[in-house]
Structure 1
Amino acid sequence: MDNIVNPHDKLIREVASNKPFATDILQNYLPDDVVKLIDINSLEISKDSFIDKELKDYYSDLLYKINLAGRPGYVYILFEHKSYQDRLAPLQVLEYMPKIWRLHLKQHKKEPLPVIIPMFLYHGQSRWKDTKFSDLMENSASLLSAYVPDFEYVMIDLTQYSDEEIKGTVLSRVVMLLFKHIFDPDIIEKLPGIFSLMQEIVEAEDGLHFLETILRYVFSTVDLSVDEIKGIVETSISPEKGDEIMTLAERLKNEGYQNAMKDTEKLIKNAEKTVKNAERTTQIEAIQMGLMIKFKDQYQKFMAVIDKVEDIEKLKQIKQAVIKVKDEYEFRKLIEQ
């Protein structure tokens, strides 16, 4: 599964490298009093990720370096891919913040630790109510609160925004609207309205690149035929570019099919390998048990050789030999053949 790219992650990483998109996120979703403290011209987009390997299918993260109140700082965004909320997600942020500080200290050893503003981008189907790390804990005596780590985080809960309230450049609005509605049962009916915003993008110099990015995401998350997407594009974006976009859509659909086949083949091979490894382990354990019974403490000197045997049939032969051989000499002669 490590090589199967999550479509939400692929889209957010593609657009996050677009500086106007990053600027939109900060200016439109940070609190107004914080926006006044940021120097947007100092914005740097980091390629670093802090998500644990086993969680990459459920989360993406973005790190923006930016001056806050005249000092170097960071905005760290955790994006939850799931349609339901994980209440322990703030605990992950608490784990990742020290990693960001250590990364910063490698380049600025003698400076104070920078401020990190944590943000969550959430597009699940239920409202996210909490905004403080301490909300994870039971109410405890006020005297104990001094010993509890705490911070507030900025929650971008797309379920709480109307479509009209989602602001920014066309690309930003299209991406955020797709994230907002992607789990809706009627997402196909909403696509024409979202795609109609892209008329301006298609005419831009790199417009088809971003259209391709959006189409890849839609094909990966919504069950659509090429004809359906062509109809949506022609009515909502540009009839004149219908053939060009149709060709692009067909290519992406075919690529998606081929990639799915490759992923399936990879999963089958991994499953076969897992089964083979399990069978090999079973055979070796059976041989070891037989040797311990037959040769007592002397079994260990044989296991070093047996552990190197990969062939399952050979291991089965050795297992049978454990029962039949009369002494250690005869057994050693057999396994060294």
Structure 2
Amino acid sequence: MIDIHHPHDSLFKYIFSNVENFKTFLKHFIPDIYKNLDLNSVKLLNTEKQAENKKKFFLDLAFECKLDNLNSQIYVVFEHKSYPDKLVPIQIMYYCASVWEQDLREKKDYTPIIPIVFYHGKQKWNIPKNLQEHFKNFPLKDYMIDFNYYLIDLSRLDDNYILKNIHDNLCLMATIYTMKNIFDDIKKLKPVVKELIIAHNQDCTYIILNYTVAITKKPEVIESMILETGGKEEMMLLTDKWKLEGLQEGLKKGYIKSILNLINLKFQPNPEELQTIENKLSSFEDEQKFEEVLRIVATADSFEEVKNKIL
């Protein structure tokens, strides 16, 4: 299910957290890395572990792997952006420093880290890839530390290249093509919708079309596109899932409203504190989690206790 509040991040993490999708991506877009990896050693890491107290510095994805024929561990870290973000270099540097600090505590050599930024926004990417570029007019910049990252800018890719060259992984191809064109005429997505329907890849079809609707707010155009490509069965399945998710979203809103009302009634927190709680609740999807929070609020003796258990 796509998080309607963060649809870009949601789709990116859903697709690229799959190790096979990640390896296929490297194969087509950064072959130098792909050719040097022991592909059987690639595994997904928990990026939150390195930034527990500074959530804004979390990176989207990180993978641990070894170099082929060498007993050497490296990290490949992935950060997704749908707009130029000046925070990117700081995010990556903070993550690297956190990993290396942990290496020191464990008396290990520093782990090599390869940072990759995946960008698919409408604006031109204008964030320097080299740290010293931030200080172009500084006369002593050559004496400063340096740092860079590898940029994948989808706007620089040709549509035909994506459609014709990534057929060893249809879902990955459809995701990259969709994210590249999501801010343009959505009818451009018809070729990938048709291929997904022909392949009967229902899970991927659903997640991509759900993402498209979340961004464009045009479900009727998507429905028409599916029917035009012969996907009557897929359209019925998709409509049923959208109805179900609509019910789930309504249930979620009801839980959040009940929890906030109960907190207000018992503790009268200031608006900023209440907003913090609401933001946290919005990240929950599991009905049991909401029930647990309701019990916490109902039995808590103070708002501080609620915050400690929920945040």
> Under a length normalisation based on structure 1, what TM-score does the superposition of the two structures give?
0.65
Q: Say whether the 8 Å CA contact 1:38–1:67 is kept in structure 2.
A: yes
Give 1 or 2 for the bigger CA radius of gyration.
1
The residue number in structure 2 matching 1:128 is 125
Equivalent-residue separation in structure 2 for 1:260 and 1:44 (angstroms): 33
Shift of the 101–258 alpha-carbon distance from structure 1 to 2, 3 Å rule, reads farther
Matches within 5 A, 1:171-250: 171-184=171-184, 186-187=185-186, 189-199=187-197, 201-202=199-200, 207-225=201-219, 228-236=221-229, 239=230, 242-243=232-233, 245-250=234-239
Q: Deviations over 1:131-159 (max 9, x none)?
A: 212223343224x533x332221101111
> Under a length normalisation based on structure 2, what TM-score does the superposition of the two structures give?
0.70
Q: Deviations over 1:186-209 (max 9, x none)?
A: 22x12212312314642xxxx322
Secondary structure of the 1:77 match is: strand
Give the percent of matched residue pairs that are identical in Structure 1 and Structure 2: 22
| Residue from 225, 228, 246 that aligns with 1:257 | 246
Q: 2:139 matched to 1:141?
A: yes
Shift of the 134–258 alpha-carbon distance from structure 1 to 2, 3 Å rule, reads farther
Instruction: Let me know the Cα RMSD of the aligned residues.
Output: 3.4
The residue number in structure 1 matching 2:91 is 92
Aligned residues: 261
The residue number in structure 1 matching 2:23 is 23
Q: Say whether the 8 Å CA contact 1:126–1:159 is kept in structure 2.
A: no
Shift of the 4–269 alpha-carbon distance from structure 1 to 2, 3 Å rule, reads farther
Letter aligned with residue 214 of structure 1: I
Equivalent-residue separation in structure 2 for 1:174 and 1:199 (angstroms): 11
Shift of 1:233: 2.1
The residue number in structure 1 matching 2:291 is none
Q: Deviations over 1:200-229 (max 9, x none)?
A: 642xxxx3222232233223222233x543
Shift of the 97–11 alpha-carbon distance from structure 1 to 2, 3 Å rule, reads same
Q: Deviations over 1:273-311 (max 9, x none)?
A: 6794349x9xxxxxxxxxxxxxxxxxxxxxxxxxx999x
Equivalent-residue separation in structure 1 for 2:54 and 2:84 (angstroms): 20
Q: 2:113 matched to 1:116?
A: yes
Shift of 1:8: 2.0
Ranges in structure 1 where 5+ consecutive residues have no aligned partner: 282-307, 311-337
Equivalent-residue separation in structure 2 for 1:309 and 1:22 (angstroms): 45
The residue number in structure 2 matching 1:287 is none
Letter aligned with residue 12 of structure 2: I
Equivalent-residue separation in structure 2 for 1:55 and 1:183 (angstroms): 26
Secondary structure of the 1:124 match is: coil
Q: Say whether the 8 Å CA contact 1:11–1:214 is kept in structure 2.
A: yes
Shift of 1:113: 1.0
Q: Say whether the 8 Å CA contact 1:74–1:115 is kept in structure 2.
A: yes
Secondary structure of the 2:60 match is: strand
Q: 2:148 matched to 1:152?
A: yes
Ranges in structure 2 where 5+ consecutive residues have no aligned partner: 274-300, 304-311
Equivalent-residue separation in structure 2 for 1:229 and 1:4 (angstroms): 17
The residue number in structure 1 matching 2:14 is 14
Equivalent-residue separation in structure 2 for 1:274 and 1:78 (angstroms): 37
The residue number in structure 2 matching 1:48 is 47
Q: Deviations over 1:60-116 (max 9, x none)?
A: 611111223632101101111x4x31123111111111223345667xx34311210
Secondary structure of the 2:47 match is: coil
Shift of the 278–22 alpha-carbon distance from structure 1 to 2, 3 Å rule, reads closer
